[in-house]
Structure 1
C-alpha cells in the first residue's frame, strides 16, 4: 500500500507514481483536493480516493521508496524512528532489498513470542544489534542514506513489499561466522547479509 503522507495538503507522491497508468487519475484527485473552496471532508474524500487508486497499481520497490522520500524527522513516531535507525545503521550501504530485509527481521521479531512486541525494544535489546550502545543510537551523519532509510521503513510499515517476512528472525554479515548460525536454517542471502529461520 502506498501511504500518502501529508502535512496539510502536501502528500508525498513521487514522479514515478504519477507516471504510472493510474498516475493521471491520482494526479487529478490530488489537484482537485488542493483546489480552492473545498471543505475538509470533501478534500479528505478526494485524498482517500487517490490513495485507493494508488493501491490498485503495482509498483517496484524503487518506485515505492521514491514515493516515500522526504519524510521529515518530526513526522516519525518513536517506533518509526527506531526502525529507520536500524535500517540506516545496519544496511545503509546495501541495496533497497537489503535494507528492507533488515526492516523485515525487526518486524518479524515483534511478531514472534521470542522477542519484545515493539520495534524499539527489539532493536535496543542487549547484544542484538551492534550499533546500539547502552540502548542509545549513534548520531546520524549522512542525510541522503537517512532519507532512504526512512522511506524504506515506510515501505516495510505499509507491508507493501516483502523480502524476508515470516519466521526469518536472524541475520549476520557474510564476513563473520557467529557461533549461533549452525543452529538455524539459512533461507536467503541479500547483499552482504545472510538470513535465517529456526
Structure 2
C-alpha cells in the first residue's frame, strides 16, 4: 500500500502523541501496530482505510481525542518540537517504506504500562511483545 503525504504526516504525529518518549525501536513497534491495522486484508476494515483514517478513527489512539493534552500539538495549534518530530519521522518512514521489520509479531493493539490496569480487551488477546513503556497484542483467532 502506498502512503500519501497526509498519511505520513498523521502517522508521524500519532507516533509523537503515543510514543515520543520511546526509543526508535519503541516508536517503530507502535508504527507497526498501526500498519498492521492498515493492512488487515479486509476490503472495508473496521479500523479504517489508510494510515490517516486508522490513526484518527475516534477513540483508537487517545492522542487524537480532543480532550487529550497532546491534541493541541497534533492539530497544529502548538508546535511539536522539531527534534522530536524528526525522530518520529524516521520511525514512520522505516515502517511505511518497509525498511524495518515488524517486531510486534503482527500486533494490532497495545497499551502503555503507565495505565493503572490493563484494558479489558487485553484478556482476550495474545501478548506479542513488551518494549519500553508499551505492551503489544494481537487478536486470538
Tell me which interval the TM-score lies in, with the shorter structure as reference length: 0.7 to 0.9
Asked which structure has the greater CA Rg, the reply is: 1
Say yes or no: does 1:188 pair with 2:137. Answer: no
Q: Higher relative contact order at CA 8 Å, sep ≥6: structure 1 or structure 2? A: 2
Query: What is the CA deviation profile of residues 7-30 of structure 1, one whole-angstrom value per residue up to 9, with x for unaligned ones?
Result: xxxxxxxxxxxxxxxxxxxxxxxx
Q: Which residue number corresponds to residue 90 of structure 1? A: 18
Closer, same or farther in 2 for the Cα pair 1:170/1:129, shift >3 Å? Answer: same
Q: Are 2:60 and 1:128 aligned?
A: yes
Shift of 1:140: 3.6
Q: Which runs of 5+ in 1 are unaligned?
A: 1-75
1:1-198 correspondence to structure 2 within 5 Å: 77-112=5-40, 113=42, 114-134=46-66, 137-138=74-75, 139-164=78-103, 167-176=106-115, 177-198=118-139
Structure 2: segments with no counterpart, 5+ residues = none
How far did 1:81 drift? 0.3
Runs of 4 or more consecutive aligned structure 1 residues displaced over 6 Å after TM superposition = none
Deviates more, 1:102-111 or 1:173-182: 173-182
TM-score for both structures, normalised by structure 2: 0.79
Q: What is the CA-CA distance between 1:141 and the residue it aligns to?
A: 2.7
Q: TM-score, normalised by structure 1?
A: 0.57
Query: 188-197 or 164-173: which moved more?
Result: 164-173
